[in-house]
Amino acid sequence: DTAVSQTPKYLVTQMGNDKSIKCEQNLGHDTMYWYKQDSKKFLKIMFSYNNKELIINETVPNRFSPKSPDKAHLNLHINSLELGDSAVYFCASSQARPSISNQPQHFGDGTRLSIL
């Protein structure tokens, strides 16, 4: 069984469209994350939720809106897509925030977003 699953795996769309990426974890973890990996493979944190509460919002344009309906799900909605949004987006989870629990993060396989 996949621990952290993201859908879709690939997303090709045109500039200006709105799209969503979904993430689910079946590990019972409290904390979930969204990361963006650019063409140089640099991984940068975007958002983090702990028990459905937003705890990290890392200077991301407000076209990006995360939503956590429950602690097992963290979705990412992107409005008015731009060329620079092309990247691989990774969802991850951990048992708790690293400041209170030394447990590793578990990653999904990523969503490859291409903007035409």
**Interaction of residue 98 with another protein, rule CB under 8 A:** yes
| Exposed e or buried b per residue across 3-40, where buried means at least 16 C-beta atoms within 10 angstroms of its C-beta | ebebeeeebeeeeeeebebbbbbeeebbbbbbbbeeee
User: Which among 89, 100, 7 is positioned nearest to 51, based on CA atoms?
Assistant: 100
**Interaction of residue 64 with another protein, rule CB under 8 A:** no
**Interaction of residue 102 with another protein, rule CB under 8 A:** yes
Whole-number minimum distance, CB 58 to another protein, in Å? 7
- 12, 43, 54, 116: residue in contact with another protein (rule CB under 8 A): 43
Concatenate the DSSP letters of all residues of 64-103 into one string. Answer: EEEEEEETTEEEEEE-S--GGG-EEEEEEEESS-TTT---
- 34, 108, 113, 115: residue in contact with another protein (rule CB under 8 A): 108
**Interaction of residue 42 with another protein, rule CB under 8 A:** yes
How far apart (Å, rounded) are the C-alpha atoms in residues 3 and 63?
Answer: 28
Pick 78 or 92: Cβ nearer another protein = 92
**Interaction of residue 48 with another protein, rule CB under 8 A:** yes
Residues at the interface with another protein (CB under 8 A): 4, 31, 33, 40-45, 48, 55-56, 58, 90, 92, 97-99, 102-110
